[in-house]
Structure 1
Amino acid sequence: MPWWFFRRHSRNTTPASTSAQPSSGWQPGEVALPRLQGSRRYLQEQPYLLPKDLGEANRLDFQHYALRAALRGNYLAPIGQPRRILDVGCGTGQWAFELAQQFPQAEVIGLDLELVKATTPPSNYRFIQGDILQGLPFDNNSFDFVHQRLLFLAIPLAAWPGVVQELARVTSPGGWVELVETGTALQDWLPCGPATQEFWRLAAQLAALRGIDTDDVPHSLARYLEEAGLVNIHYQPFSVPLGEWGGRIGSLMALDLREACKAISAPIAARFGRSEQDVLRLIERASQEWNEFRTKWPFAIAYGQKPLTH
């Protein structure tokens, strides 16, 4: 297969509560978040590093279209004709909207901490407020396809096994769970320049304060699925060019990554005693390096099936 194909807990189970908690190293409000570049809104009571505001909503929509172009599709798992679809950490809901349009016979649910923006979704789409770290408000065996994408900056490392177990719990026998992630492990980004390496080191240190590991998660997706009892597991690492050297897709992905880096410039500056202008200059140098070094953005997709006898 080409690489580019792409709170009411169940009464029958105890949700992943102990394992799905922010690990030590982060306390709410520990990192001051000054508003030095306009007004960026961060969630103080969550480990999530990125903002929750209109600017981030716009970036997430842009990111969706860029990723869809890069992957030439919205998913990889052989899902057939699902009756119910769940998108965990749905963001603006754009991925879920498109699945609702592709499968009009299906009920599609997007779950996130907040409703990010007001919009008119497809009639078969529904938003539910929830926090995967507190367990999913659905019964066992509720969905034929469960999707989760790019939550590596939201889920503490210690919580990942419990989170994936929770995704598997709400998946119907024969249904599929798909995970899409990236990270900042320098060996995955090579070749890249010194500014890129410096920024990723700062970002990784900030993430570690909140129990988040930005290196190992993309490499562990298949193991998480296996430990959750899934079978027919497929793991596919892939990289997307960053910068004009990569054509239209490279330019789109570079713009998205540059804006994502800017979105955490204030917390990085606050934590490490640097001016935000200094951090923004570092980001600008890094983005120039992506063309110079022909850097690629590493991703990983993993999907697995819940056994029929589960």
Structure 2
Amino acid sequence: MPWWFFRRHSRNTARTATSALPSPGWQPGEIALPRLQGPRRYLQEQPYLLPKDLGEVNRLDFQHYILRAILHGNYLAPIQQPRRILDVGCGTGQWAFELAQQFPQAEVVGLDLELVKASASPPPNYRFVQGDILHGLPFDNDSFDFVHQRLLFLAIPQAAWPAAVQELARVTAPGGWVELVEASIAPKDLTPSGPVTQRLFALGGQLAALRGIDSEGVVARSLNYYLSETGLVNIERRQIEVPVGEWGGRLGSLMALNFREGAKALSAPIAHRFARTEQEVATDIEEMLQEFNRYHTKYSYIIAYGQKAY
């Protein structure tokens, strides 16, 4: 089934049919995915922009600890004692492992395109399921008390977001919660920022747009709208501004390192696509780090959560 198709389900019936409908506003064949060139391992048949390799595994784990520090925990939704938890786009599984340890009575499921980091001793109440939100989730209606999805703005095409969030709501049990954590690749969402930083982010945004990915920050600003359109209630939205650069202390330094590694992951595709040398891109990345301190740059994360009505 093409990745721009979604299976749609009623709230009262489990998954049985194989029929599909295009997500709202999405035209099949609209995006021909350009090949992502470079020494890193990229998924060529998926819109996902970042690599899937050991280097990205390390960055994702590093990013997890940054986000946990920013949020002062692993989630903001007022969950109590969930019986089943789902992490969509679980990446390395670190978030799900920690939830499994926090809620040993719960079954915790991590779903992703592939298992990117095998663990010798995962929590006994954790299991991995291979799947793709763009093909629909392989779970029955009302299956989970807490559904979590984080930083897939570089993986889900902008036009597919409403149907993707509808799918998250479908598998959430009455009284359960859905939480989304997202950010943006738009230069205007990294402020104030210098000219080299703006240029790098603009090139990354152009590369994202070629794959149907939001390059203007629309997704992050629309999270509460997506949740409300599914019928969820008690919706809350928070925007957390974080310093980037050594000027912002330990957290700012960690954020700058995260941005550096993310930019390096895209340096070869950017160089190839926009007729630049990788050395030119590398020089820009180092200048970007200096600009973070010169301009006292900040970056925002958006967190939105809502509850499924009983």
Do the two structures share a fold, i.e. TM-score over 0.5?
yes
> What are the within-5 Å matches in structure 2 for residues 107-118 of structure 1?
107-118=107-118
SS at match of 2:22: coil
| Cα distance in 2 between the residues matched to 1:202 and 1:16 | 34
SS at match of 2:287: helix
Report if the CA contact (8 A) 1:25-1:208 is conserved.
no
- The structure, 1 or 2, with the larger RCO (C-alpha pairs under 8 Å, 6+ apart) is 1
Which residue type is aligned with residue 219 of structure 2? V
Which residue type is aligned with residue 50 of structure 2? L
| CA distance 1:22–1:237, shift in 2 (3 Å) | farther
Which residue type is aligned with residue 297 of structure 2? T
Percent pairwise identity: 68
Can you list the C-alpha shifts for 1:144-202, whole angstroms capped at 9, x where unaligned? Answer: 00000000000000100000000000000000000000002333222111111001110
Which residue type is aligned with residue 198 of structure 1? R
Does 1:213 find its partner at 2:214? yes
Does 1:229 find its partner at 2:263? no
| Cα distance in 2 between the residues matched to 1:270 and 1:80 | 49
The residue aligned with 1:18 is 22
| CA distance 1:16–1:237, shift in 2 (3 Å) | farther
Report if the CA contact (8 A) 1:12-1:140 is conserved.
no
Report if the CA contact (8 A) 1:34-1:267 is conserved.
yes
| CA distance 1:93–1:233, shift in 2 (3 Å) | same
Which residue type is aligned with residue 42 of structure 1? Y
| Cα distance in 1 between the residues matched to 2:19 and 2:87 | 18
The residue aligned with 1:177 is 178
The residue aligned with 2:4 is none
SS at match of 1:264: helix
Which residue type is aligned with residue 249 of structure 1? L
Q: Mean alpha-carbon deviation: is it higher for 276-285 or for 129-138?
A: 276-285
| Cα distance in 1 between the residues matched to 2:43 and 2:206 | 19
The residue aligned with 2:143 is 142
| Cα distance in 1 between the residues matched to 2:131 and 2:144 | 16
The residue aligned with 2:32 is 27
Deviation at 1:14, TM superposition (A): 7.4
Can you list the C-alpha shifts for 1:190-228, whole angstroms capped at 9, x where unaligned? Answer: 211111100111011000000011321110000000111
Could you tell me which runs of 5 or more consecutive residues in structure 2 were left unpaired when the two chains were aligned.
Answer: 1-6
Does 1:269 find its partner at 2:271? yes
| Cα distance in 1 between the residues matched to 2:114 and 2:226 | 26
| Cα distance in 1 between the residues matched to 2:188 and 2:262 | 20
SS at match of 1:86: strand
Report if the CA contact (8 A) 1:17-1:162 is conserved.
no
Deviation at 1:71, TM superposition (A): 1.7
| Cα distance in 2 between the residues matched to 1:159 and 1:91 | 20
SS at match of 1:285: helix
TM-score, structure 2 as length reference: 0.91
Deviation at 1:66, TM superposition (A): 1.3
Aligned residues: CA RMSD: 1.8
| CA distance 1:24–1:280, shift in 2 (3 Å) | farther
Report if the CA contact (8 A) 2:142-2:171 is conserved.
yes
